[in-house]
Amino acid sequence: MLILHGPNLNLLGSREKSIYGSTTLAEIDRALERRGNELGVAVQSFQSNHEGVLVDKIQQAAGFSDGILINPGALTHYSYALRDALAAVGLPLVEVHLSNIFAREAFRAYSVISPLAAGVICGFGPHGYLLGLEALVKIIREKQGDQN
């Protein structure tokens, strides 16, 4: 499973703690790796503040990943390049956000990524990533079961 973290998520733990909490990105990644091991899947986490680097990583995912769990950060709301890359690879996708994007500024309630996603999890802080990983694994396993 490819876990993608968008811009500014490298600042978790010190960035706007009242919104994002005190958990660091490294702590989230370690929790995802542990949960992945429990679920019997390999997890690769990657963060970038650069849209093109994330697009490159998505394109590469077609060759090694069964699914993508993504927190696109601010790119959620306007990155057609990210959206098109996700559509192009066609991998199962779950979108996750630490905060409840619908309870914040109006612009945050719109996602160009969500229409491609099997589901969106928001507002549960770091736990949302674990919920997203579990959902992604379930989606992939059900899909593989349908092919047998």
Those residues whose C-beta lies under 8 Å from the C-beta of residue 128, and which sit 6 or more positions away, are 96, 97, 98, 121, 122
For the record, the structure tokens of 84 come out as 């098109």
| Rounded Cα gap, residues 31 and 42, in angstroms | 13
| Rounded Cα gap, residues 31 and 109, in angstroms | 27
Is residue 110 annotated as part of the catalytic site, yes or no?
no
CA distances from 53 to 14, 60, 82, 120, 129 (A): 24, 11, 10, 23, 21
Which of the following is catalytic: 5, 20, 77, 127?
20
| Rounded Cα gap, residues 29 and 76, in angstroms | 20
Which of the following is catalytic: 50, 77, 97, 127?
97
Nearest CA to 67 out of 145, 147, 139 is that of 139
Is residue 50 annotated as part of the catalytic site, yes or no?
no
Query: Which residues are tagged catalytic?
Result: 20, 97
